[in-house]
């Protein structure tokens, strides 16, 4: 029934499928070479999420300023029942599942409707997916867990997809990390995994008052600053660099032209950074910036255009009264 390339890893209590990439992916050394050696300097946001960074992100989600997580969770708790009744999926595949916390709303709704299905959390972090599988198996006895480990940037073509209706889930507003071109490619790739009748449930952040946006990425407790700076520790560890986080500061600002939050690390002094694994170094001048993340904010229409552009049809578009966030259910229509 399953297609695609994968290998199994078994442990005493759990196992997961390792989903192989469909294309060669740049490693951290390539990303440093391509992004940091010459200005404008940048790094892919995926390097935020080592163990400490993932922990910091969870703390960010609990700050009063960072509204996306709780807004999306409120939408899910309000509409999960309707979504499950509408879709009745045989399989739920979640891209970038992390702790799967918000997804429990969908699983609770399955329980309410006595609807059984399988759940395939897909994340880069094997340990996380393994833990989630253990917890959810315990909480939802009827649920068939099919944990998957891999990188969704490396292609979705090897995801094992069941023969019944599948609901793909991509939450949190992470679509905002993609440039418009990358987002288009990503939706095309999801669509290519879908069979007619399958659904996609997408969470995306909306354009809003700049003060609200800026505050969300500049929480007063400095958790977002710590999260941003932590990427320097990741580089120190992974490419043997000698960053001193004390010589950098966190900068996050809303770019009005491009409707996106841009997050930078700003060099506080003139300094030379060496990368021993690369045998090279760079000099950063005081005030020089490294772009570490873009987080795009969308209008209602933009989101619908992006989804329908890949050939899917909008089934429901949920938003809260303040229009802070969108939860969109779309479907690849059956051929007429
Ligand atoms: C996980 C990518 C949705 O863009 O808001 C939070 C990451 N960065 N605070 C976002 C993040 C700074 C987050 N996403």
Residues 24-76 have pLDDT tens digits of: 999 999 999 999 999 999 999 999 999 999 999 999 999 999 999 999 999 99
Domain of residue 162, residue span: 6-19+62-209+299-331
Q: For residues 194 and 197, what is the distance between their CA atoms, to the nearest angstrom?
A: 8
Which class for 10: exposed (0-12), middle (13-18), buried (19 or more C-beta within 10 A)?
Answer: exposed
In this structure, the answer to whether residues 267 and 247 fall within a common structural domain is: yes
Phi-psi region of 155 (alpha: psi -120 to 50; beta: other; left: phi over 0): left
Do 86 and 204 lie in one domain? The reply is yes
* CB atoms closer than 10 angstroms to residue 325: 26
Q: Do 273 and 136 belong to one domain? A: no
pLDDT for 161 equals: 80
Give the span between the Cα atoms of 246 and 229, in whole angstroms.
Answer: 9
Specify the pLDDT at position 6.
60
Q: Of ligand 1's atoms, which has the minimum distance to the CA of residue 173?
A: 3
Is the distance from the beta carbon of residue 224 to the nearest atom of ligand 1 less than 6 Å? yes
Distance 325 CA to ligand 1 centre (A): 13
Which stretches of the chain are assigned E, i.e. beta strand?
6-10, 15-19, 41-42, 91-95, 118-123, 144-145, 148-149, 166-170, 199-205, 248-255, 260-267, 271-275, 280-284, 289-296, 313-318, 325-331
Q: Looking at the structure, do residues 223 and 313 belong to the same domain, yes or no?
A: no
How far is Cα of residue 184 from the mean position of the Cα atoms in its chain? Answer: 16
Report pTM. Answer: 0.96
Residue 68 tokens, joined: 């996306």
State the closest ligand 1 atom to the C-alpha of 261, by its place in the atom list counted from 1.
Answer: 4
| Nearby residues of 100 by Cβ (< 8 Å), 6 or more positions away | 94, 121, 132, 136
Ligand 1 contact via 117 beta carbon (within 6 Å): no
Give the model's pLDDT for residue 204: 99
d(CA 174, ligand 1 centre) in Å: 7
Q: Does residue 182 register a pLDDT over 50?
A: yes
Q: Is the CB of 262 under 6 A from ligand 1?
A: no
Q: How many domains in the chain?
A: 2
Confidence of residue 312 (pLDDT cuts 50, 70, 90): very high
Give the SS3 label for residue 150.
Answer: coil
Which residues, including other chains, have CB under 8 Å from residue 188's CB and lie 6 or more apart? 310
pLDDT at residue 1 above 50?
A: no
* 141 shares its domain with 235: no
| CATH number of residue 308's parent domain | 3.40.50.150
Q: Are residues 37 and 180 in the same domain?
A: no
Is 325 found in the same domain as 312? yes
């Amino acid at each position: 029934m399953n297609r695609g390339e994968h290998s199994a890893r078994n442990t005493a209590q759990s196992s997961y499928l390792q989903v192989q990439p469909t294309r060669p992916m740049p490693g951290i050394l390539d990303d440093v070479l391509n992004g940091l050696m010459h200005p404008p300097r940048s790094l892919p946001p995926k390097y935020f999420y080592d163990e400490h960074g993932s922990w910091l992100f969870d703390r960010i989600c609990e700050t009063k300023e960072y509204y996306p997580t709780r807004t999306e969770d409120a939408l899910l708790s309000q509409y999960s029942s309707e979504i499950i009744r509408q879709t009745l999926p045989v399989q739920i595949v979640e891209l970038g599942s992390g702790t799967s916390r918000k997804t429990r709303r969908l699983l609770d709704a399955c329980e309410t409707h006595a609807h059984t299905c399988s759940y395939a959390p897909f994340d880069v972090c094997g340990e996380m997916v393994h833990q989630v599988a253990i917890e959810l198996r315990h909480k939802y006895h009827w649920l068939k867990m099919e944990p998957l480990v891999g990188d969704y940037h490396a292609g979705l073509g090897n995801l094992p997809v069941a023969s019944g209706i599948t609901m793909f889930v991509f939450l949190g507003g992470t679509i905002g990390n993609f440039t418009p071109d990358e987002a288009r490619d990503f939706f095309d790739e999801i669509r290519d995994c879908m069979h007619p009748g399958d659904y996609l449930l997408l969470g995306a952040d909306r354009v809003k008052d700049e003060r609200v946006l800026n505050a969300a990425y500049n929480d007063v407790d400095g958790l977002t600053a710590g999260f941003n700076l932590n990427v320097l520790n990741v580089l120190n560890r992974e490419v043997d660099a000698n960053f001193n986080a004390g010589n950098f500061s966190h900068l996050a600002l809303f770019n009005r032209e491009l409707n996106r939050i841009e997050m930078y690390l700003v060099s506080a002094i003139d300094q030379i950074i060496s990368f021993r694994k690369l045998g090279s170094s760079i000099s950063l001048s005081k005030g020089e910036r490294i772009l570490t993340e873009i987080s795009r904010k969308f209008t209602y229409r933009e989101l619908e255009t992006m989804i329908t552009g890949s050939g899917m049809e909008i089934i429901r578009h949920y938003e809260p009264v303040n229009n802070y966030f969108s939860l969109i259910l779309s479907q690849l229509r059956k051929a007429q």
